[in-house]
Amino acid sequence: MNAIVDLVPKKLSAVDKDWWRGAVIYQIYPRSFQDSNADGIGDLLGILQRLPYIASLGVDAIWISPFFTSPMKDFGYDVSDYCDVDPLFGSLADFDAVVEEAHRLGVRVMIDLVLSHTSDQHHWFVESRASRDNPKADWFVWADPQPDGTPPNNWLSIFGGSAWHWDARREQYYLHNFLISQPDLNFHNPEVQDALLDVTRFWLERKVDGFRLDTINFYFADKELRSNPPLPPEKRNSNIAPSVNPYNHQEHIYSKNQPENLAFLERFRAILNEYPSTTSLGEVGDAQLGLNILGQYTSGDDHVHMCYAFEFLAEQRLTAERIAEVFAKLDDVAKNGWACWAFSNHDVKRHSSRWDLPPAALRLYATMMMCLRGSVCLYQGEELGFPEADVAFEDLQDPYGIEFWPEYKGRDGCRTPMTWDKSNLNAGVSEGKTWLPIASAHLALCVERQEEDPTSLLHHYRKAIAFRQAHQCLTKGTDDGVRFEGDIVYFIRSSGREKMFCAFNLSDTPSALDMPSGNWLQTGAELGSANVSADGKLHLGPWQPCLALKAKV
């Protein structure tokens, strides 16, 4: 049975303002998804072409990485016009067509807003750097040098080196937390906030359903530009920047995470509230305080709806103990907040390779993700089991990888094109040479092959998503605390009278666990769920889950 041919579009609920709570969101990196005009770069009409496939997965929404006008120094995360589409990706009419068709298929559309910085080619920055007294002179973070000519403070860029760049026109430094060509906006200026909120409203009027907010905790910098203190070696980790990057040597208490951000997020949320059923997802980039910030930014009803931190995007394998630890911390600092979990995205090594997971483990992790409290982001190709691609140095496009090669190979390995067809030279993604080479390891995992195999990982993802959406306790319900015993992580999800016991053996050896008291009935057989034994003992095989509903009295 072809899941796409047999697709019956689901209807979007105009009254469910909380659709995002427990939603499954599919991230599209447009350059690598589908090309419609043979230039080797994916585009909006390519996304339009593949929307039936996305809808067939059963996801609630798509998140499209930036497609705005850009010089593409950071592949769209350097915006030169927030209110237009880069010709590489198409036109505003193409975007409108994507939204209309997605909605017809029952899929909501979220877009990636990059508000913390612009491209140095944005007309705002062109005007700002022209003089110290023009109308936009204070729209970016400018500062005089220290008496010896050095930068104003010790802040570092995530992409390496100082976060300050000297500008000869103004004889001042400007702040760039990322590339030199990505100057940081000055959120302390109310006019800047107003302009960005106008951008937000522009896209809401084009019927987007929400925003993924890039680097949400970088919006404000310390107004006094105080230097960051050093970070002790024992506290350093590479969740945000690779270990070879000196960025890890500082505690970034002044260059980001400023308290003024909360007031701006309240203004942002007020606009979203004018458009029912819209949502916001913040990316929290902080290795030490990610969950704390998540708690601050998602508490109550006047900030962003949800955030994701980097706990499940870390290099270290996600063990049962680590999952329990993360949720315990979440319960402590974000009890009233809402998390969104991701194992892979466009910035980190794909989790199949990062954690060296065999096929059975990929299935289990997918099932577990669909049972955790919170919302879910899936990254294109994750449902196919893509490993990290090995991109040769001469094929690299990512400036981050080029800077730190070979110790860190950058982000190109997770950004290579999708593979759709088994017979096409370019796997159906383009009729031209693709902007990054197609990984040979991905050809055997293409969509066409997996559609034909009822036992494939792709079909498993469909079953896991459908299982989640069939049980309200898994989408919007609570949990009784995430615990672990050995390699098993377990918890009970509840919503009304529906209670589900969930346990996952995160190892390649059999394991056992005592079942909680009560009459539990096996469910999720299609996901390989273990039987519940009469003696109250749960026996899990390698990489096996147990999903059991409590019998209603």
pLDDT for 453-497, tens place per residue? 999 999 999 999 999 999 999 999 999 999 999 999 999 999 999
Considering the candidates 133, 148, 234, 274, report the single residue annotated as catalytic: 274
Contact call for residues 533 and 503 (beta carbons, < 8 A): no
pLDDT for residue 219: 98
219's tokens: 């919006």
What are 65-87's pLDDT values in tens digits?
A: 999 999 999 999 999 999 999 99
With a cut of 90, say whether residue 15 has pLDDT above it: no
What's the rounded mean pLDDT across residues 284-305? Answer: 94
Written as one letter, the residue type at 257 is N
Q: Which domains does the chain have, with CATH numbers?
A: 24-117+190-469 (3.20.20.80), 477-550 (2.60.40.1180)
Contact call for residues 438 and 429 (beta carbons, < 8 A): yes
Considering the candidates 43, 86, 120, 214, report the single residue annotated as catalytic: 214
What are 214-258's pLDDT values in tens digits?
A: 999 999 999 999 999 999 988 887 666 677 889 999 999 999 999
CA distances from 336 to 198, 311, 331, 416 (A): 29, 19, 8, 38
pLDDT for residue 1: 40
What's the rounded mean pLDDT across residues 516-525? Answer: 94
What are 392-449's pLDDT values in tens digits?
A: 999 999 998 999 999 889 999 999 999 999 977 799 999 999 999 999 999 999 999 9
To the query of whether residue 274 is one of the catalytic residues in this protein, the response is: yes
- Mean pLDDT computed over every residue of the chain: 95
To the query of whether residue 260 is one of the catalytic residues in this protein, the response is: no
CA dihedral (48, 54, 59, 62) in degrees, to 10, reads: -40
Give dist(CA 341, CA 325) in Å, integer: 15
Q: 396 in the Ramachandran plot: left (φ > 0), alpha (ψ -120 to 50) or beta?
A: beta
Contact call for residues 400 and 424 (beta carbons, < 8 A): no
Q: What 3-state DSSP class applies to 21? A: coil
